[in-house]
Structure formats: structure tokens, C-alpha cells
């Protein structure tokens, strides 16, 4: 009978298409909006991902990773003296105006790394070597930033071309020259601008006038000391704030810098609200469209369900048929919608680094929701069929 | 099913059935009493609105009357719960409706399989029996067609195949020819009579089409919610439609 139930559902291609449109549209909205939401939110803690330290230390008032409240350089030795610290390296981050070769200004994120250890250096270097940052007035920029800081050239024949910056090109930060010696590949940040990596000491030169430049300290625990333990010791010993660097959204610890950053943005920006509305809208439209289309499928077939009932099918069998039809429609709708969401995500990814992170959990939640909508529709259908009088089949 | 030949296959006694409440109350059956024997084809005739369909629904167990007794092959239907009635229909009843009621999104073959699948038959076996039955109603080769692609007469033949495929003991046909032209109607009735005639089976055909009266073994004439008389020969009836 399930086979016939399936054929009943597939028999009318037009209606099936309507039904699948409704279901897949809501699956798409849910999966896509949620993925973009998580994408954007994951950008907020990009530095934690890019810099890859086990433990971060900051001023006690710092609430999230983009919020630098610089400490004194002497704090570094205080941290180094905490039991369990293998090494601690300084890190500077700031947003600065950079003057491009063509005279335009661009906001860059300056990252100053400890020149001895290069702790916090990008994981993937596309061109050049990190050690080249020891040369005077040098920076390494990220691939995406290189695109953003593209340079316009006018050839002798008057042809105008624009190309991304590359090693050898220069720009200026606070009138200090910055010569590009390498290109790295890092994850994009919420702030959007290019990253310019340099050494911690040179960062002081670029931020002339700043009294304090120690934004964070990157700390490595001794073997056998867990990051969380070390955080406790550092906080007790120095009064500074220490963070772990785990970024697994479903499983991050109490001290995770990424986690605090995520929730800071959640509380202090309109992102959750605007995405929340989009997702809620998706759910609402989804419930309305899919519920309605499945209900009308049942209504149109009510006469035949009544005939099957008259022929001796019990409500048990009819209910199973309806649930089966609804689940099949729901699964197909989910598949189409999630597939479309992934395709859109892929296109976005090809166009640059988009705010798009499709967690499997999001897919599961979408699936559960779509199947939930389908089941509710089936339930309404079952009530309808159970109320239909089998003797209506005798009426013309 | 320990029926002797003379005990009735269908026995309706003193059935009252009314629809609605108060002002709009309509009495469809008044102390209706009726019998049909195994092996015979009984026609239920009478003017529109006299209660024929209501009586059929009561016999089929899809309507529960306010009063009276209904017995089908020795099984009392009055007092049975919905589930038992459903199980009873599944096992013993075949239906042919005025408006065919074929499922438009299913093929002919699938439509005919429905009663077997409801009984829990295996898909392949149901398919084989449906094909065989479609052959008997002269529709071999059209198994895959949808009802929409067939003429009214062909659709009703599919309905006959569906009604008989599971070998029901009671076949109920409500105005099976009223949506068909005269010749097709006669063919359909001939087919119902030829295919359904079996010693243990009772066939009840509701109609007000006097041109097919000749296919009946007996005719029950209804009027105002009760059986007025039973006759063996259609010529004995007045023919108000002539
Ligand atoms: N479900 C119903 N609700 C209200 N009245 C009904 C219903 N079914 C039948 N009736 C009424 O009962 C009477 C008998 O109807 P029916 O059995 O369909 O007659 P027939 O089949 O002989 O034309 C009619 O007056 C009809 O209007
Ligand atoms: Mg009628």
C-alpha cells in the first residue's frame, strides 16, 4: 500500500512540484540564513582561528578578541613567571589607516608578531617567508586583503589596469613605509579589511604615539598543563584575564575567547535579531506553504481516501499512508532545499570568502523541522480523513 | 458462514434512518425491511430520494441506522464498532459506485490492486490478480493507463474489476449505469451479472434505469423509505420512467 501511497503522491506532477516548492523553499531559507548567520558570527572571532595560540592573556577589562585594551610590556614578564608557562609571546593588534600607492586610504588590521618566535603567524603562506618580516619596514598581507588593496597602473600607452598588490609593492601606515614581502592565506574577519602582519617591535613604529602596544599575550603551557588550568593560574598570579582558544561552537569551554566574542556580538549587535527574523520568517513561510499544500493534497484526495476507507481500510492504514506521503514529501523538500542552500553557499565561496558556515547540526535541525512540518500536515490530514464519512462515496 | 440456501444473505429488518435534527430532519428509511439471497442479483429500484443509497450504506455498514437489525451472511452489523465494520467491509464487500471513484493518479492496475493491498496482500501477488481481473473485464493491455485516459464505460469496467478482485461475498452497486449511455450501461450490467454470479455471492444493484431491469433475478421496489414490494419479473412493475 505504501507503493500506491507514493504513486498517489507522485501521480500529479504539478501538485507535487507545488508541494516540494513550499517545503524546499522553507528548508532553503532555514539552512541558508542559519549558515550565513553562523558564517558572520564565526568571523567575529577570526583572530582566534588565525593566530592559533593555546592560551590568550589580556587586560582584565577585555570582553572579546576585537577589543584590545593594551597592557604594559612588563606584564609579559609577570606572565612568563607563572608556573606552567612554557613561553609567552607578545601580540599587537590595531586598526589603522593605510595610505595606498594611489593616495587612497584603507583601514587595515595590523598584527604585530614576536620577531623571535613568530608566534601567531599565519598557517598558510602563499608567497614569501615569515622570516622576511625581520627585514626593515616589511609587512605580509593576506590574499583577500591584496585584492582589496589593488593597485591601479597607467601604462605608457594610456591603458589603465588594476591588479592586486604583490610582493615588492609598498604602502604607508602613519607615513611609515610598509613593503610587502609575502602573501598569506587566512580566514576573513568580521571587520572585513586586509590583515597586515609585521613584527611586534615594528608595530610600535607604525602606531607612533601609542603608549601601550601589548594587546594580547600568546601563551604555551608546559606539557601536561591544560589550557584551562593555566588560565586559572595566570589569572590568580597576575590579575590579568586568560582565555582558551577553542572555537568549536557546539563544544567550547567556559573560558573560550571565541565563545565570549560570539556572545558579545550576540548581545551588542543587531545581527542575531535580523537573522533571527529571517529564520523565523523562513519557518513561518515554510509552515504556511507546506502545511497548506499538503493539506490541499489531502483535500483533493479526500474523496479517494473515503473510497479506500469504504473498501475497508482502517484509520491505522490510512494514517500510515498519509504519514508516509508527508515524510517522503518532507525528505524530498529538505533534500532540494538543503542542496540549493549548499549550491548557493558554494557560489558564494567561489566569489570570495563568504560568511557561510553550514554546520551539520544546522542541516539536522532543518531536516527535523521540515519533517516536523510534514508530520503536522499529515496529522491534520489524518483528522480530516478520519472525519470523512465513508458513505460519501455513494454520493455523485 | 454456515448459511443454508434459504436463509437470506442480506437481511434488513425494521430499519429507521433519519438525517439532521429538528426542522431540517429528513427521514430516509422508515421501518425498511428487505432480504436478498445468496446467488442472486437483486435490484433496488424507486424514484430519486426514496432511500436506496441510504439502504445500501446501511447494508455496507458505512451508515449506522437509528433502529433496526442488519444481518449480512449471518453477521449482525447493528451494534458492531467502526473497526469491526471496517474489517467486515474489507473481507466481504465489493463496491461499484455511480461516479467510479477510481484514484486518478494511479494506473488501472494499481486501482484494482487496492482491495487486495488493504487486506495485506503482497504487492506482486496483488498485481498478478489485478491483471487477471482486468483481462476478465476486457481491459488487458490497458493496465498502465490512468483513469483519465479511459471512457466512462471503461472506467466502470475497471471499477467492476476492483469490486470483484478480492472475491467478496456481497457486491454492492449504486447506480452503476447512470453516468453511462444506454448501450454501455447494458454492457456494464451484463458484465456485472456474468462476472459476479457465484453460488455464494449476493449482488445488490441500485438503479432507477428501467432498461436494465431485465438483468435482475428479483426487484425490490422502494418508496418513501421503505420496500413497497418484491417482484420476480420487471414487467410486473409500473414503469414511471418509460
Ligand atoms: N447525508 C445526508 N444528510 C441529509 N440528508 C440525506 C443524507 N443522505 C440522504 N439524505 C436524504 O435522505 C433521503 C434519501 O436519500 P438517498 O438514500 O440518497 O435516496 P436515493 O438514493 O434513493 O436517491 C433524501 O431525501 C436525501 O435528501
Ligand atoms: Mg442514490
B81, B114, B177: best to mutate for the A interface, most A CBs within 10 A: B114
Query: B99 Cβ partners below 8 Å, 6+ apart?
Result: A396, B179
Rounded to the nearest integer, the mean pLDDT of chain A is 89
Residue B3 pLDDT more than 50?
A: no
- Kindly state the greatest CA–CA separation across chain A: 95
Residues A162, A209, single domain; the answer is yes
Which pLDDT belongs to residue A370? 87
User: Which cell goes with B114?
Assistant: 487496492
Ligand at minimal distance from the CA of A396 is 2
Contact assignment for A1 to B117 by CB distance below 8 Å: yes
The helix/strand/coil state of A33 is helix
Is residue A262 one of the residues assigned to a domain?
A: no
For residue B52, the chain A residue with the least C-alpha distance is: A394
* CA–CA dist A119, A114 (Å, integer): 6
On whether both A240 and A284 belong to a single domain, the answer is no
CB B36 within 8 A of CB B169: no
Q: What distance in Å separates the CA atoms of residue A265 and residue A205, rounded to the nearest whole number?
A: 31
Rg (CA), chain B: 18
Q: Between chains, do B106 and A4 touch, taking CB under 8 Å as contact? A: yes
Tell me the HSE value of A5 on the side-chain side, using a 13 A CA sphere.
Answer: 21
| Residues A357, A320 within the same domain | yes
Judgement on whether residues A76 and A225 belong to the same structural domain of the protein:
yes
Boundaries of every domain in chain B: 8-19+27-238
Q: What dihedral angle (degrees, nearest 10) is formed by the CA atoms of A194, A200, A205, A210?
A: 90
Residue A346 binned pLDDT confidence (cut-offs 50, 70, 90): confident
Tell the CATH superfamily of the B8-19+27-238 domain: P-loop containing nucleotide triphosphate hydrolases (3.40.50.300)
Domain that holds residue A361: 2-42+271-387
Q: What is the mean pLDDT of residues A24-50?
A: 87
What is the pLDDT at residue A377? 86
In a domain, A266, yes or no: no
Per-residue 3-state assignment (H helix, E strand, C coil) for chain B: CCCCCCCCCEEEEEEEEEECCHHHCEEEEEEEEEEECCCCEEEEECCCCCCHHHHHHHHHCCCCCCEEEEEECCEECCCCCHHHHHHHHHHHEEEECCCCCCCCCCCHHHHHHHHHHHCCCCHHHHHHHHHHHHHHCCCCCCCCCCHHHCCHHHHHHHHHHHHHCCCCCEEEEECCCCCCCHHHHHHHHHHHHHHHCCCCCEEEEECCCHHHHHHCCEEEEEECCEEEEEECCHHHCCCCCC
Task: Examine the pLDDT at B179 and tell me if it is beyond 90.
Answer: no
Chain B 167-186, CB below 8 Å of chain A: which residues? 174-175, 179
Average pLDDT, chain B: 89
Same domain assignment for residues A200 and A54:
yes
Which of A261, A272, A112 minimizes the C-alpha distance to A195? Answer: A112
How many domains is chain A partitioned into structurally? 2
Q: Is residue A214 part of a domain?
A: yes
Nearest CA to ligand 1 atom 26: B49
Whether A320 is in a domain gets the answer yes
Q: Kindly provide the residue ranges of all beta strands, DSSP E only, lying in A174-318, ordered along the sequence.
A: 176-185, 195-199, 216-221, 241-244
Confidence band, pLDDT 50/70/90 cuts, at residue B2: very low
Is residue A171 located within the same domain as residue A311? Answer: no
Q: In this structure, what C-alpha cell is assigned to residue A342? A: 549548499
Q: Residue B174 Cα, ligand 2 centroid: separation in angstroms?
A: 7
Residue A85 lies in a domain: yes
Neighbours of B188 (CB within 10 A): 24
Asked if A201 and A61 sit in the same domain, the reply is yes
Entry pTM: 0.77
What would the 3-class secondary structure string for A265-296 be? HHHHCCHHHHHHHHHHHHHHHHHHHHHHHHHH
Task: Find, among A89, A91, A111, the residue nearest to A186 by Cα.
Answer: A111
Based on the domain organization, do A195 and A278 belong to the same domain? no
In a domain, A260, yes or no: no
Q: Which ligand is nearest to the CA of B62?
A: 1
> Based on the domain organization, do A188 and A292 belong to the same domain?
no
Mutate to test the pocket of ligand 1, among B46, B51, B174 (most ligand atoms within 8 A of CB): B51
Domain membership of residue A394 (yes or no) is: no
* Model pLDDT, residue A160: 85
Q: Under the phi-then-psi rule, with left for phi > 0, alpha for psi from -120 to 50, and beta for the rest, what region is B134?
A: alpha
- Which of A231, A246, A261 is at the close of a domain? A246
Q: Of the candidates A187, A150, A204, A146, which has an alpha carbon nearest to the alpha carbon of residue A48?
A: A187
Per-residue pLDDT band at B240 (split at 50, 70, 90): low
Residues A117 and A241 in one domain: yes
Whether residue A393 is contained in a domain is answered as: no
Per-residue pLDDT tens over the stretch A46-59: 999 999 899 999 99
Amino acid at each position: 500500500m505504501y507503493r500506491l501511497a507514493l504513486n498517489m503522491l507522485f501521480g500529479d506532477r504539478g501538485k507535487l512540484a507545488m508541494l516540494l516548492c513550499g517545503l524546499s523553499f522553507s528548508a532553503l531559507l532555514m539552512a541558508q540564513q542559519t549558515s550565513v548567520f553562523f558564517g558572520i558570527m564565526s568571523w567575529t572571532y577570526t583572530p582566534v582561528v588565525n593566530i592559533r595560540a593555546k592560551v590568550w592573556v589580556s587586560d582584565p577589562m577585555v570582553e572579546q578578541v576585537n577589543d584590545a585594551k593594551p597592557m604594559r610590556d612588563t606584564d609579559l614578564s609577570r606572565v612568563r613567571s607563572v608556573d606552567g608557562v612554557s613561553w609567552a609571546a607578545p601580540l599587537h593588534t590595531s586598526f589603522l589607516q593605510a595610505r595606498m600607492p594611489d593616495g587612497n586610504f584603507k583601514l587595515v588590521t595590523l598584527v604585530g608578531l614576536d620577531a623571535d618566535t613568530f608566534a601567531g603567524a599565519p598557517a598558510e603562506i602563499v608567497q614569501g617567508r615569515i622570516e622576511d618580516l625581520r627585514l626593515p619596514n616589511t609587512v605580509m598581507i593576506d590574499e583577500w586583503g591584496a585584492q582589496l588593496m589593488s593597485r591601479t597602473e597607467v601604462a605608457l600607452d594610456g591603458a589603465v589596469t588594476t591588479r592586486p598588490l604583490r610582493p615588492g609593492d609598498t604602502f604607508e601606515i602613519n607615513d611609515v613605509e610598509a613593503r610587502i614581502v609575502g602573501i598569506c592565506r587566512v580566514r576573513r574577519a568580521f571587520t572585513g579589511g586586509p590583515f597586515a602582519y609585521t613584527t611586534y617591535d615594528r608595530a610600535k613604529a607604525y602606531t607612533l604615539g601609542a603608549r601601550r602596544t601589548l594587546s594580547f599575550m600568546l601563551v604555551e603551557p608546559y606539557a601536561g598543563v591544560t589550557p584551562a588550568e593555566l588560565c586559572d593560574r595566570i589569572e590568580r598570579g597576575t590579575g590579568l584575564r586568560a582565555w582558551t582558544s577553542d572555537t568549536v561552537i557546539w563544544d567550547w569551554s567556559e573560558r573560550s575567547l571565541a565563545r565570549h566574542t560570539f556572545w558579545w556580538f550576540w548581545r551588542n549587535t543587531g545581527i542575531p535579531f535580523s537573522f533571527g527574523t529571517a529564520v523565523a520568517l523562513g519557518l513561518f513561510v515554510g509552515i504556511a506553504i507546506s502545511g497548506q499544500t499538503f493539506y490541499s493534497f489531502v483535500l483533493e484526495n479526500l474523496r479517494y481516501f473515503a473510497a479506500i476507507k469504504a473498501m475497508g481500510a482502517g484509520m491505522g492504514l490510512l494514517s500510515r499512508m498519509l504519514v508516509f506521503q508527508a515524510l517522503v514529501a518532507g525528505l524530498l523538500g529538505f533534500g532540494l532545499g538543503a542542496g540549493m542552500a549548499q549550491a548557493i553557499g558554494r557560489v558564494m565561496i567561489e566569489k570570495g570568502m563568504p560568511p557561510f558556515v553550514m554546520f551539520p547540526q544546522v542541516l539536522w535541525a532543518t531536516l527535523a523541522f521540515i519533517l516536523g512540518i510534514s508530520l503536522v500536515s499529515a496529522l491534520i490530514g489524518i483528522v480530516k480523513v478520519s472525519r470523512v464519512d465513508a458513505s460519501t462515496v455513494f454520493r455523485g | 458462514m454456515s448459511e443454508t440456501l434459504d436463509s437470506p444473505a442480506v437481511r434488513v429488518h425494521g430499519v429507521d434512518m433519519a438525517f439532521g435534527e429538528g426542522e431540517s430532519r429528513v427521514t430516509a428509511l422508515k421501518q425498511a425491511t428487505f432480504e436478498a439471497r445468496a446467488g442472486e442479483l437483486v435490484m433496488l429500484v424507486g424514484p430519486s430520494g426514496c432511500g436506496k443509497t441510504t439502504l445500501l450504506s446501511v447494508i455496507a455498514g458505512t451508515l449506522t441506522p437509528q433502529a433496526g437489525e442488519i444481518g449480512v451472511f449471518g453477521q449482525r452489523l447493528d451494534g458492531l464498532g467502526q473497526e469491526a465494520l471496517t474489517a467486515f467491509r474489507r473481507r466481504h464487500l465489493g463496491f461499484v459506485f455511480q461516479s467510479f471513484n477510481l484514484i486518478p493518479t494511479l494506473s488501472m492496475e494499481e486501482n484494482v490492486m487496492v482491495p487486495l493491498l488493504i487486506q495485506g496482500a503482497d504487492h506482486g501477488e496483488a498485481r498478478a490478480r489485478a491483471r487477471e481481473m482486468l483481462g476478465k473485464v476486457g481491459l488487458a493491455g490497458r493496465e498502465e493507463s490512468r483513469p483519465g485516459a479511459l471512457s466512462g464505460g471503461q472506467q466502470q469496467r475497471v471499477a467492476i474489476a476492483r469490486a470483484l478482485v478480492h472475491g467478496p461475498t456481497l457486491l454492492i452497486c449504486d447506480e452503476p449505469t447512470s453516468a453511462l449511455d444506454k448501450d454501455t450501461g447494458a454492457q456494464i450490467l451484463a458484465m456485472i451479472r456474468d462476472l459476479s454470479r457465484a453460488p455464494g455471492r449476493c449482488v445488490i444493484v441500485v438503479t432507477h434505469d428501467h432498461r436494465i431491469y431485465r438483468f435482475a433475478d428479483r426487484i425490490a421496489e422502494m418508496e418513501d423509505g421503505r420496500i413497497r414490494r418484491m417482484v420476480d419479473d420487471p414487467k410486473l412493475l409500473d414503469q414511471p420512467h418509460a
